[in-house]
Every structure is written in structure tokens, then in C-alpha cells.
């Protein structure tokens, strides 16, 4: 079947079943009208799914030509002609009207129809990129309709690779006169589902097309208009604000999922689109904080506030592994201080182990008025916030390229303007030291046995904090391995560019995060059970990071065996009541440690 016929067939199907429903008033649909509309949408959905099955059967019959068409879909070689663009544009525009109907059932089924069309065009191998791009354009211009004073309402100045230029805007805008945040949320629910489909059946060409359109959307939205005076949703009278937060929920989920693929190396961030999108999302982070969390630390809806803090932390964590500039890391330390100080100020030793405390699902699907919802979810946020704080701080302290780099705040908002006191190697080291000091039980002097015990206590508390989340545990352990051991060449190098007044701070940091001590704490936490290590290694979530951590630690131990034994001895010395007992038992303890390490290594390998 020719391309024009395929697109006209979809358009004709929608005309056949949905044109009689086009006269419905979207803001006041009756029960009878809703019922008829749901029946019509169901017929369209069923028919499109049948066509998709036919296209998949054609591709699986061994037709090499059909497969090659799918692989290079929307690459430019098969760009749509004007007639095909008209048919597909009309299809999307007609369905947009039903996303505006004030009925959750109608909006949901309309979204399913759009998703089915996406799958059909993906199987057919033509028009998919233009279709997805239209969805982003409709979302963009819907926001412009909600904020008529914004730059989005001005004719778009660019003509992108799909030809959605000035001439298309009036036709699209005419269909969006009654668009609202529910419309935008509905579009992004579809776009998020499309991305899930792409993750399952990964095709580089389609992913590249999708990310190009996402980047275009981010760059055209005036994000400063979304953090208005009513940013905090009020439980008593939320009104039209709630759909906006639903959109922001879908949007942050999508960004986090995209960055997960970048983390997994499926999306090549070195490509043009990957690099541009990484820059756009990184630049967007401060604005997202203002849009999602507001300018006040207090938030009236605890569930949504908790959810957005979780998603934004996850997004920043995934972005932080992409080699960001020092100015970005400094800005993120400001954001952590502003929005997560309550979580980071409590001593880590005061956190009791809890179970089933991960954030699952979305708060938008649950009761908005449920009380006592924070509970143990805060422990998950605490671990995330501390991990990001440590990663950003250590990158600034030990990465020579970003030392003393002045902060150029990426946000245009004055409330997040640059703070010079955060913008130096010295200040970052002091802030990290201040956080460490609040987690020590006693003010002790370096070199004393009490100080060593204090370091070991900190290491045990640190391991216990992350023991509930294996994936974060090994990430944070690998992160602190970059802290050099006193006396090493790397330590002397860092010490050389550290002010004399801060040499003690650097030494203190190295002692508290001593990798030999942390490795002892880790082994003690798992009770020296080699089977637990094996479980970590065969886990798809922790296998790679666990193997890397173990190998790096074993190398350190082989190079610093006596120091490793010293930590082992002091850790056990508390059990011995007298100096004589300690002296007699010390040699026995060394033999015991050698034996235990040998047995674990033997069983493990």
C-alpha cells in the first residue's frame, strides 16, 4: 500500500467513527455523549491494532526490503510529502480535541489510540518521526495557549527537519483554543508510553528522532512562566493547578528514563542529538526545581512534594555521571542545600534500618489526602541526597579541571543566583568537612585510638545507611574510592593544591573514608558471608559495580596489607579488657584475619 494511502486510511477511519462526536462540547460532556465517544474510540483502536498486526506480519515474512525500510525510518530518505503530512497532521489534530474532553475515560482511550498509531507507523517504517514531533509541537503550543503572553504564542521562527514551520502554526493553534494542562498531561502520558515502547524495542534511528523532538520541546518552552505564585498545589482548593503537576510528573519521569538509557550507554551522548539533549536537560534542572517544588521550603501537598524531590534527585544523579562542568556541580550543591538540608542535617548513625522504603509508583494515582505518607520514604531520599552531595563535592575537590572554577548559575531566576562562597575548592572542602563533623560522636584528635574507633564507627554507620539499597551502596563505595590514602602519590598531589589551613581537613576526610576501613565495615555488615557476595555479583542491578568494587579493594589490600590488619585489630580490640590481653591476642588476630580473607577469596573465586 502506498504511503499516502496508509495515512489517508488512518484519517478516514477517524473521520468515519469520530466525526459525529466532534460537535461535543469538551467542557460539559453528558453521560450519553461520553458513552458514544468511548464506543467510537474503541472501534478506532481495535481497527488500528489489527492493521499493526498486519504490518508486523509483513515484516516478519522475511521481506528484507520491508525490514530495511523500518530500520531507516524517518532518516530523511523517506521524508513525507505534503499530502502525507496533511493527512497525518489532520489525524493528530482531530484526536487532540478528544484529549481536551473533561472525562478521564475519554482522555485515557484517546491516548491509547495515539499510542496505537505510533506502533502502527513504527511497524510500517514511515511517518513515525513526524507523528512524534507533532505530539511535542502540540504540547508546546498548548502551553503557549495556557500562557498567552509567552514566547510560545509567537510564530515559531525555525523550520525543523519535519517541516513544522510558520505555515503550520495557525492550523495547529486553531485546534488548541480550549487546551489546558490536562491536554498537555495527556500528550506527555502518550509520549512517555512511546518511550517505554522504544526502550523495549530499541532502534537507534527512532530513538534519535524522538530525542531530537524532545530537545526541541525543551528549548522552546518558557519554563520561567511555570513557577507562578500558585506553584504549591493546595489540598483544599487545588483547582486547575493539579493537571499542571501531573504534566510535570510525566515530564520528569520521561527525563529520568531518558538519562537512565544514557547511563546504560544505549543512547550515545557523544552524538550530536545526545550531546545537545544532555546540555538542555542539565540547564533545565534549576527551573524544574522552581516549577515542581516552588520557591518556599514548605509545600502543602506532602505526597507530591516527596515525589518530585525523589524524581529530581534521580535525574540529577544520572546526569552527574556524565562529566559535568564544575559550575554545574557547584549550582547543584546550592540546590541540595536549599531543598534537602532537612535530610542531610540528621546524623547518619541515627537512621534506623527499615524495609520496603523505596518510592514506588506515582502519587498522582493515589489519594491526595492520605496522612502520614512520608514515613520511611525519607530514608530513600536521604540516601540519594547524601550520595549526590558526596559525588559533586568529591568531583570538585579531586578533579583538577574544576578547582576554583567560578559558578555561572544556569538559572535565570534571582533566587538561585550565584553564591561566591560555594565557588571554590576551599569552600567545597569546608562544607564536606562540616557535614562529616556533624556525623561524629566525639571531638577527637588524630592519631589517638579513640579517633580510629570514631572513624570505624562512622564507616559502619555509613555502610548501614546504604545497606537497604544495594545499587546505591556500591555506587557510593566506588565514589569514595577516589579519596586518596594519606601517604599516597595522589594524596600528595591533592595536598599540594590545598591551602595549608585545610591540610588537616583533607587528612580527616581521607581517614573517615579510608577504603580499608569501609571494606571491613562492608564485610562485617554481610557477616563475612561469601554467598552474599555471590548474590551481589549475579544481580543485574549490582553485578558490575560490585565486581569493580571488590577488585579495586583487593588491589588496595594487597598493596596495604599491614594497614588492613591494623584496622582489623583495632576493630576487635574493644573486646579485650587489658593491655596484656591485647598484646597476646594481637598476633592471633593477624593469623585469623589472614585465614578469613583467604577462605573468602577461595570460596568467592
> Which tens digit of pLDDT belongs to each residue from 534-572?
999 999 889 999 999 999 999 888 887 777 776 664 455
d(CA 496, CA 488): 12
As given in the structure block, the three cell numbers for residue 110 are 484517546
The residue-averaged pLDDT of 403-421 equals: 40
As given in the structure block, the three cell numbers for residue 222 are 518558557
Cβ atoms 110, 92 nearer than 8 A = no
pLDDT confidence of residue 83: 86
* Average pLDDT of the chain to the nearest whole number: 76
> Which tens digit of pLDDT belongs to each residue from 161-179?
455 554 455 667 677 778 8
Helix (H) or strand (E) holding 380: helix 377-398
Does the pLDDT of residue 473 top 90, yes or no? yes
Does the pLDDT of residue 434 top 60, yes or no? yes
Q: Which residue has the cell 580527616?
A: 508
DSSP codes joined into one string, 136-200: HHHHHHHHHHHSTTSGGGSPP----TT---GGGHHHHHHTTTT--HHHHHHHHHHHHHHHHHHHH
Quote the Cα angle for 416-418-424, to 5°: 135
Q: Binning pLDDT at 50, 70 and 90, where does residue 437 land?
A: confident
> Which tens digit of pLDDT belongs to each residue from 103-118?
999 999 999 999 999 9
- Distance (Å) of CA 110 to CA 179, 406, 446, 477: 15, 49, 67, 47
Higher pLDDT, 254 or 326: 254
Sign of the CA dihedral with 130 first, then 134, 135, and 137 last? positive
Closest CA to 183 of 81, 97, 255, 251: 97
Burial (Cβ within 10 Å: 0-12, 13-18, ≥19) of residue 548: middle
Q: What pTM value is reported for the model?
A: 0.82
Select the highest-mean-pLDDT range: 145-159, 295-309, 565-579: 295-309
pLDDT confidence of residue 252: 95
Burial (Cβ within 10 Å: 0-12, 13-18, ≥19) of residue 50: exposed
**Domain boundaries of the chain, sorted by first residue:** 3-221
> Which tens digit of pLDDT belongs to each residue from 362-386?
555 444 334 444 544 788 899 999 9
What is the four-CA torsion angle of 191, 194, 199, 202, rounded to 10 degrees?
-120
Q: Binning pLDDT at 50, 70 and 90, where does residue 207 land?
A: confident
Higher pLDDT, 2 or 435: 435
pLDDT confidence of residue 385: 95
Quote the percentage of the chain above a pLDDT of 70.
68
pLDDT confidence of residue 186: 94
> Which tens digit of pLDDT belongs to each residue from 39-87?
999 999 999 999 988 877 776 655 545 444 444 444 443 477 888 888 8
Amino acid at each position: 500500500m502506498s504511503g499516502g494511502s496508509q495515512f489517508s486510511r488512518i484519517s478516514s477511519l477517524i473521520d468515519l467513527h469520530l466525526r459525529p462526536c466532534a460537535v461535543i462540547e469538551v467542557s460539559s460532556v453528558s453521560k450519553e455523549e461520553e458513552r458514544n465517544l468511548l464506543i467510537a474510540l474503541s472501534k478506532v483502536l481495535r481497527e488500528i491494532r489489527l492493521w499493526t498486526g498486519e504490518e508486523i506480519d509483513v515484516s516478519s515474512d522475511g521481506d528484507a526490503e520491508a525490514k530495511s525500510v523500518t530500520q531507516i525510518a524517518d532518516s530523511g530518505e523517506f521524508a513525507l510529502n505534503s499530502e502525507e503530512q496533511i493527512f497525518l497532521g489532520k489525524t493528530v489534530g482531530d484526536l487532540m480535541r478528544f484529549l481536551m474532553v473533561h472525562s478521564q475515560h475519554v482522555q485515557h482511550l484517546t491516548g491509547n489510540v495515539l499510542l496505537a498509531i505510533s506502533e502502527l507507523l513504527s511497524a510500517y517504517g514511515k511517518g513515525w518521526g513526524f507523528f512524534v514531533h507533532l505530539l511535542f509541537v502540540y504540547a508546546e503550543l498548548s502551553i503557549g495557549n495556557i500562557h498567552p503572553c509567552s514566547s510560545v504564542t509567537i510564530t515559531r521562527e525555525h523550520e525543523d527537519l519535519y517541516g513544522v514551520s510558520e505555515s503550520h502554526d495557525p492550523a495547529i493553534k486553531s485546534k488548541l483554543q480550549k487546551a489546558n494542562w490536562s491536554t498537555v498531561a495527556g500528550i506527555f502520558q502518550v509520549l512517555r508510553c512511546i518511550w517505554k515502547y522504544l526502550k523495549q524495542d530499541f532502534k537507534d534511528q527512532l530513538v534519535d528522532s524522538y530525542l531530537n523532538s524532545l530537545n526541541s520541546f525543551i528549548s522552546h518552552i518558557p519554563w520561567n512562566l511555570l513557577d507562578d505564585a500558585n506553584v504549591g498545589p493546595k489540598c483544599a482548593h487545588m483547582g486547575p493547578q493539579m493537571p499542571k503537576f501531573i504534566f510535570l510528573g510525566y515530564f520528569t519521569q520521561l527525563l529520568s528514563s531518558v538519562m537512565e538509557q544514557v547511563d546504560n550507554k544505549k543512547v550515545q551522548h557523544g552524538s550530536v542529538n545526545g550531546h545537545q539533549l544532555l546540555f538542555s536537560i542539565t540547564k533545565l534542572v534549576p527551573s524544574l526545581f522552581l516549577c515542581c517544588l516552588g520557591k518556599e521550603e514548605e509545600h502543602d501537598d506532602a505526597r507530591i512534594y516527596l515525589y518530585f524531590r525523589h524524581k529530581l534527585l534521580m535525574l540529577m544523579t544520572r546526569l552527574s555521571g556524565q562529566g559535568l562542568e564544575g559550575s554545574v556541580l557547584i549550582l547543584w550543591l546550592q540546590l541540595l542545600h536549599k531543598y534537602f538540608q532537612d535530610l542531610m542535617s540528621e546524623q547518619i548513625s541515627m537512621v534506623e534500618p527499615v524495609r520496603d522504603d523505596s518510592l514506588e509508583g506515582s502519587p498522582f494515582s493515589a489519594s491526595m489526602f492520605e496522612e502520614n505518607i512520608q514515613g520511611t520514604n525519607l530514608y530513600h531520599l536521604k540516601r540519594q541526597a547524601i550520595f549526590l552531595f558526596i559525588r559533586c563535592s568529591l568531583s570538585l575537590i579531586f578533579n583538577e579541571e574544576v578547582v576554583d572554577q567560578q559558578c555561572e548559575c544556569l538559572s535565570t531566576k534571582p533566587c538561585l543566583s550565584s553564591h561566591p562562597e560555594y565557588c571554590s575548592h576551599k569552600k567545597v572542602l569546608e562544607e564536606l568537612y562540616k557535614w562529616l563533623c556533624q556525623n561524629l560522636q566525639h571531638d577527637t584528635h588524630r592519631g589517638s585510638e579513640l579517633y580510629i574507633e570514631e572513624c570505624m564507627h562512622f564507616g559502619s554507620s555509613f555502610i548501614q545507611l546504604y545497606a537497604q539499597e544495594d545499587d546505591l551502596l556500591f555506587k557510593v563505595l566506588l565514589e569514595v574510592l577516589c579519596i586518596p590514602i594519606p601517604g599516597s602519590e595522589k594524596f600528595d598531589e591533592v595536598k599540594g593544591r590545598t591551602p595549608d589551613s585545610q591540610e588537616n581537613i583533607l587528612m580527616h576526610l581521607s581517614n573517615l573514608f579510608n577504603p580499608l576501613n569501609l571494606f571491613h565495615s562492608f564485610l562485617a555488615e554481610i557477616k563475612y558471608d561469601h554467598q552474599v557476595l555471590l548474590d551481589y555479583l549475579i544481580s543485574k542491578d549490582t553485578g558490575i559495580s560490585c565486581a569493580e568494587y571488590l577488585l579495586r579493594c583487593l588491589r588496595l589490600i594487597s598493596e596495604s596489607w599491614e594497614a588492613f590488619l591494623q584496622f582489623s585489630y583495632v576493630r576487635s580490640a574493644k573486646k579485650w579488657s587489658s593491655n596484656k590481653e591485647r598484646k597476646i591476642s594481637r598476633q592471633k588476630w593477624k593469623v585469623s584475619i589472614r585465614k578469613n580473607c583467604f577462605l573468602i577469596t577461595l570460596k568467592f573465586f
